[in-house]
Structure 1
Amino acid sequence: MEGEEASTRLVETPPNDEDAQELQKKGENEAKGAASTEELAVRRDTGDSSAPREHLRADQDRTRLDHRDSGADALPKPSAAWRDKQRSTNLSALDSFPLKHSNTLTNRQRGNEVSALPATLDTLSIHQLAAQGELSQLKEHLWKGENLVNKPDERGFTPLIWAAAFGEIETVRHLLEWGADPHTLAKERESALSLASMGGYTDIVIMLLERNVDINIYDWNGGTPLLYAVRGNHVKCVEALLARGADLTTEADSGYTPMDLAVALGHKKVQQVIENHILKLFQRKALE
């Protein structure tokens, strides 16, 4: 009985003032420690580096020790209320931050002025239109005056020569239908056939040959359509010229024949085409 009464009195007896103060201080210290630990975890999660590194390492070490004693495997996570508060603060900071403008300046911002406007179709000559294959605008120019179809420029190039040089096959076809002269030579004896062969435009070469142009026409340095086709390694064009009677013995001013040029440049396929053509010529001669 006495033991039970003593136990009851021990439970019911309120602590004295000194004991109460000591318990209160202990509770406050524990609360502060928990708050520091929670704030530290939030700083780690949000990447906050406002606290000194030494302070962070000390807090982290102490937290790890506390958790080893309690058997925990990870740092305590911040509460949901703390996360919401932190997120709200970050969004407010973003809203108040000024927008970042591009640092790329335009010509107008730099104070530069356009010195020349790009050429439009209205400002192009008939020769430029032919070289670019602008058929509709080319027709408008041809309707404005006579003899424009064979009008030479400062180099003696006609619209047909320009179209052939740039491989504009439809423009070449239409110019021939409108009366363009395929035999015209420029100031340095450039021809539509030679320039088409230089570019390897086989369809245009054939189209011009059907108009009975000189297949062996030479320019200022002795270049022929066949020599230009060989130099450009245009196999199909070489075949077309040889099939229509191009002369294999013609030499340029440099002394090269088409075969010499093919060997010097290492154009194996062109060499084979020329060899096959020579073989056919011998066979044909033997039959005669």
Structure 2
Amino acid sequence: AVELCLRSGAKISTQQHDLSTPVHLACSQGTLKIVELMFQMQPEEKEVSLKSCDLQRMTPLHCAAVFDHFALVDYLVSQGANLNTLNKDRRTPLHLAASRNAWKTMKTLIRLGADISLKDKDNRNMLHIMVTHDGELDKILDHELSTLFIPILEDQDKNGNTSLHYAAKRGHIKSVEKLLTLGASILTKNNDGQNVFHLACRYGRLNIIFQILKNEQTNSVVNEADGRGRTPLHIAANEGLFNYWFHHNNTNRVYTGK
């Protein structure tokens, strides 16, 4: 049916009411063969189709990336799609893949040269986005790629949070362990003056609390006050965690930092 429409003169760059094109729709569905057919039959329309944006400023590459159609992503880039194009939220195809935990697409885009340092409208990089969407960092921060992310570990979003802040807040122990292994700092404070220990206490993330207590920099954070003058112990007591710590032999470290 697609080939018949194309032979009848239908243009692959024609935009409908939401400004999406047939190429956008095919990329959302992940139909690689149909996209190949479109470009083969109308090569003169390929460039404009790849650059075309819908009302959300989404390109066909955004559409393929958000649904983890990694083979199609590879093909679109080979045909000239811009790896780092931004949608209305200033998100790249890599950001959208990160928001869906689409690690195959993320690896494909990074291998092809996507810029991992770019930030969206909330000043969040792909690590922020992965963690806030419950992504599995170990799938992308493997031995082959992990060193690429070291320069962006301490990036802070509009709230001053690093990816480690969000991992601690959401209780992602594997992500916390991975970020700490790569060198993420537990000392960094957000706009509220809170470090990761404050957040772990605030949200009752006991597994994160114990992980941080093992860190050699623990003495520097356990008695640190936030912007309201509260230490992690103040927050823990307020959240009902004090008794748990007392009965698990961590009281000394919390009180004295020893």
Query: Is residue 200–residue 229 contact of structure 1 (8 Å, CA) maintained in 2?
Result: no
Q: Aligned in 2, Cα 1:173/1:134: closer, same or farther, shift over 3 Å? A: same
Q: How far apart are the structure 1 equivalents of 2:118 and 2:217?
A: 34
Number of matched pairs:
164
- What do the CA deviations read for 1:205-257 (whole angstroms, capped 9, x no partner)? 52564214321100111111100101110001101111222111212222321
- Please state if 1:183 is matched with 2:135: no
| d(CA) in 2 for partners of 1:204, 1:164 | 11
Task: Indicate the structure whose relative CO is greater, using CA pairs within 8 Å and at least 6 residues apart.
Answer: 2
Counterparts in 2 of 1:246 and 1:215: CA distance versus 1, 3 Å: same
Measured in 2, the distance between the counterparts of 1:126 and 1:178 equals 13
1:240 equivalent among 178, 191, 195: 178
TM-score, normalized by length of structure 1? 0.52
Residue of structure 2 in register with 1:11 after alignment: none
* 1:164 maps onto 2:101 in alignment: no
| TM-score, length basis structure 2 | 0.57
- CA change 1:220–1:280 in 2 (3 A) is closer
Partner AA of 1:249 in structure 2 = L
Of the candidates 147, 159, 168, which is equivalent to residue 210 of structure 1? 147
Distance 1:121 1:136 in 2: 16
**1:144 and 2:79 equivalent?**
yes
Aligned to 1:24: none
1:223 to 136, 161, 170: 161
Q: Aligned equivalents of 2:135 and 2:103: distance in 1?
A: 12
Paired position in structure 2 for 1:122 = 26
* Partner in structure 2 of residue 72 of structure 1: none
CA contact (8 A) 1:142 1:149 kept: yes
Contact 1:226 1:258 in 2 (8 A): yes
Whether the 8 Å CA contact 1:200–1:232 is kept in 2: the answer is no
CA drift at 1:280: 8.3
Measure how far apart 1:136 and its partner are: 2.7
Provide the alpha-carbon RMSD of the alignment: 2.6
Where do residues 1-288 of structure 1 align in structure 2 (5 Å cutoff)?
A: 121-122=25-26, 124=28, 125-146=60-81, 148-198=82-132, 199-204=134-139, 206-207=141-142, 209-211=146-148, 212-278=150-216
Q: Distance in 2 between matches of 1:196 and 1:275?
A: 25
Displacement of 1:264: 1.2
Distance in 1 between residues matched to 2:68 and 2:194, nearest whole Å: 35
For the residue of structure 1 that corresponds to 2:62, the secondary structure is helix
Q: 1:230 to 1:172 in 2, by over 3 A?
A: same
CA contact (8 A) 2:138 2:178 kept: no
CA distance, structure 2, for counterparts of residue 135 and residue 268 of structure 1: 37
Which residue identity is paired with 1:237? Answer: S
Residues 142 and 188 (structure 1 numbering): CA distance in 2 closer, same or farther, change over 3 Å?
same
Distance 1:251 1:265, change over 3 A: same
Ranges in structure 2 where 5+ consecutive residues have no aligned partner: 1-17, 29-59, 221-258
For 1:250 and 1:279, locate their aligned partners in 2 and report how far apart those are by CA, in whole Å: 12
Residue 204 of structure 1, CA deviation: 4.6
Could you tell me which amino acid in structure 2 is paired with residue 226 of structure 1? L
Cα 1:144/1:265, change in 2 over 3 Å: same
Tell me which amino acid in the other structure corresponds to 1:158: T
1:205–1:276 distance in 2 versus 1, CA, 3 Å: farther
204 and 187 in structure 1: CA distance in 2 versus 1, 3 angstrom threshold: farther
The C-alpha deviation readout for 1:138-179, integer Å capped at 9, x for no partner, is 233223325x11111111111111112211111111111111
Contact 1:248-1:259 at 8 Å conserved across structures: yes
Please report how far the alpha carbon of residue 272 of structure 1 lies from its aligned counterpart in structure 2 after TM superposition.
0.5
Structure 1 pair 242–123 and aligned structure 2 pair: CA distance change class (3 A): closer
Question: Which 4+ residue blocks in structure 1 deviate beyond 4 angstroms?
Answer: 279-282
For residue 133 of structure 1, report the CA deviation from its aligned partner.
0.3
- More deviation in 228-237 or 125-134? 125-134
Structure 1, unaligned stretches of length 5 or more?
1-115, 283-288
